[in-house]
Amino acid sequence: MKNLRLLLAYDGTDFAGWQAQSGRYRTVQGVLEEAIEKLTGEETRLLCAGRTDAGVHALGQVASFQTRSSIPVDRWHLALREHLPEDVIIREVSEVPRRFHATYSPLSKRYRYLINNSYVEDLFLRRYSWRVRPHLDVEAMQDAAERLIGTYDFRSFESNWPNNNTSVRTIFDIRVYRSSHVRMLQSFSCHEECSGNDDFVAVEVEADGFLYNMVRIITGTLVDVGKGLKTPDDVESIRLGMDRRLAGDTSPAHGLFLVKVYYPEEEEQL
Amino acid sequence: MKNLRLLLAYDGTDFAGWQAQSGRYRTVQGVLEEAIEKLTGEETRLLCAGRTDAGVHALGQVASFQTRSSIPVDRWHLALREHLPEDVIIREVSEVPRRFHATYSPLSKRYRYLINNSYVEDLFLRRYSWRVRPHLDVEAMQDAAERLIGTYDFRSFESNWPNNNTSVRTIFDIRVYRSSHVRMLQSFSCHEECSGNDDFVAVEVEADGFLYNMVRIITGTLVDVGKGLKTPDDVESIRLGMDRRLAGDTSPAHGLFLVKVYYPEEEEQL
């Protein structure tokens, strides 16, 4: 029995999210489990790092599953690709120790929210960004974002509170920056500087875990700051107020990307 | 009665081409005529510069129509936009002389064909490019392309020959170049140099008119040259052979963009 780890990218546009559901919904998990079954004849249960919602994309989702298949690890990539639709891409397949658990092992995950802040509509990237027309004050947004770094109760930035668990999370890093959209869509590495046009604004959040809609609510709130409707101090008050109604709107799903998942090295290496 | 000229961009992915058809097909012309009717109550008949096929995109399509509406010309842009779906964008609305005819007045039109020539799939631009994996020899392609510049019978590069008309056309310019895909998707101006990644190859063709599938067959043939399967001399022989079977495959529709239409200045200005 092997434990295999998949590094995945997908276009969330035509998926009802990650998680397999009863009924006819098309999900990333469903499409992948079906591909694995076609390849090996095995029914598997795929675990993932972050169960992305409907419309949310991934550049670096991580999933793992166990298999008895005798297919050599270095053959999996090409073999699996044959059974996948064009909106799911396997980046890497590797064997990991049995203790590796895609969902519970991560140290942190990083999401990127992409805002089209140009005056002109972007016809060809509209599925992958949220268009905000007024020019955003990125420095004020960054200032506000830094009020959220640390270990806090983030229930002001959570849909569906109260839940059964704690709303305390640790945000390690938030960066708000302008860049060209290409780099942001293509690159794995985080916060790359890019010369050239800077018509897009990214909000990147890295945390040990995320509450429901957390990045989208943080982004909606920071956009209010970028428009001058809220101040950085307001954002601190919103966090301290512990009430979802104080924060800004939930930004749309289609601007959100799961960029990278960080695991402890020893859990990834055989 | 005014003659209005629209400069348009659209994402051809979800359209059955430009031309209105009977039945339930969604077409660019149909969507625009419906928007104009909603706005003015008038039934109009839109003329266009190039009737793009299903899946083909436009950065600078031109259309014209006559209207009795009293809406001032400078209000049309915003007013019309309210009635259009997100995959059609109005760039400009202007009043033109009565003699201006979107279809018959052009001096030339320029198309761009976009090839994703990177090793990695581009998840987010797959609707807007044709993926060709082997590294293409762009210099050989440009050399071959130049054998097509001039006034010739292009029936080797035409689907559905024989037709009722001549297959003689004049190609003014063909350029094959590497660039970043962003510039190519966003910019109106042709053949802009872009520093940075050059993972995409564009084939741009400007001619006084185009035969059915002409740019797509030229591109398919030039890609054979880029792969080393044909030589620039072969391309000249193919043209002289006047037989479609000699040329390469028709490349897929979704890599093709109508970039710009050139009109005589005096026909555009009141």
Chain A contact set for B195 (CB, 8 A): 196
**Is pLDDT of B203 > 50?**
yes
Share of chain B above pLDDT 70, in %: 92
Mean pLDDT within B172-187: 70
- Note the pLDDT of residue A23: 77
Catalytic residues of B, by residue number, are 53
Q: Of A7, A32, A10, which Cα lies nearest the Cα of A20? A: A32
A268, A99 Cβ separation under 8 angstroms: no
B57, B86, B180 member nearest A182 (Cβ): B180
How far apart, in Å, are the Cα atoms of B263 and each of B105, B106, B266? 6, 5, 8
Range in B133-137, B184-188, B230-234 with the lowest mean pLDDT:
B184-188
Q: Do A182 and B186 touch (CB under 8 A)?
A: no
CA distance B188 to B181: 13
| Residue range B18-75, pLDDT digits in tens | 998 887 899 999 999 999 999 999 999 999 999 999 999 998 999 999 999 999 999 9
In which band, very low, low, confident or very high, does the pLDDT at B183 lie, cut at 50, 70 and 90? very low
Q: What is the mean pLDDT of chain A?
A: 90
Q: If you average pLDDT over residues B74-91, what whole number do you get?
A: 94
Q: Say what the pLDDT of residue A186 is.
A: 42
Answer yes or no: do A123 and B196 touch at CB < 8 A. Answer: no
pLDDT-derived band at B159, boundaries 50, 70, 90: very high
Ordered domains of chain A (ranges, CATH)? 2-105 (3.30.70.580), 108-261 (3.30.70.660)
User: Smallest CA–CA separation between B220 and chain A, in Å?
Assistant: 22
Interface of B with A (CB under 8 A): 9-11, 57, 86-87, 89, 121-128, 180-182, 185-186, 194-197
Are B125 and A124 inside 8 Å of each other by CB? Answer: yes
Instruction: Kindly report the number of other CB atoms within 10 A of residue B70's CB atom.
Output: 7
pLDDT (tens digit per residue) in A111-132: 999 998 986 667 888 898 999 9
Q: Which of A11, A121, A122 faces B123 most closely, judged by CB atoms?
A: A11
The question of whether A53 is a catalytic residue gets the answer yes
User: Could you write out the three-class secondary structure of chain A?
Assistant: CEEEEEEEEECHHHCCCCCCCCCCCCCHHHHHHHHHHHHHCCCCCCEECCCCCCCCEEEEEEEEEEECCCCCHHHHHHHHHCCCCCCEEEEEEEEECCCCCCCCCCCEEEEEEEEECCCCCCCCCHHHCEECCCCCCHHHHHHHHHCCCEEEECHHHCCCCCCCCCCEEEEEEEEEEEECHHHHHHCCCCCCCCCCCCCEEEEEEEECCCCCCHHHHHHHHHHHHHCCCCCHHHHHHHHHHCCHHHCCCCCCHHHEEEEEEECCHHHHCC
Shortest alpha-carbon distance between residue A81 and chain B (Å): 11
Sign of the Cα pseudo-torsion (A53, A59, A63, A68, in order):
positive
Determine, for residues A186 and B9 on separate chains, whether the beta-carbon distance falls below 8 Å: no
pLDDT in tens, B210-247: 999 999 999 999 999 999 999 999 999 999 999 999 99
Query: Which chain A residue has its CA at the smallest distance from B181's CA?
Result: A182
For chain A, list residues with pLDDT below 50: 183-196
Count contacts between A and B (CB, < 8 Å).
47
Tally of CB atoms within 10 A around B136: 20
Q: Which of B125, B185, B196 sits opposite A196 (nearest CB)?
A: B196
Inform me whether the pLDDT recorded for B120 exceeds 80. no
* In the predicted structure, residue B130 carries a pLDDT above the cut 70: yes
Catalytic residue selected from A11, A14, A53, A233? A53
Which residues of B fall within a CB distance of 8 Å from A126? Answer: 11, 86
Across the interface, of B11, B123, B197, the residue whose CB is closest to A123 is B11
Q: Report d(CA A146, CA A111) in Å as an integer.
A: 16
pLDDT interval class at B187 (50, 70, 90) = very low
Candidates A186, A192, A195, A198, partner chain B, best to mutate (most B CBs within 10 A): A186
**pLDDT value for A191:** 37
> What's the pLDDT score for residue A180?
65
pLDDT for A231 equals 98
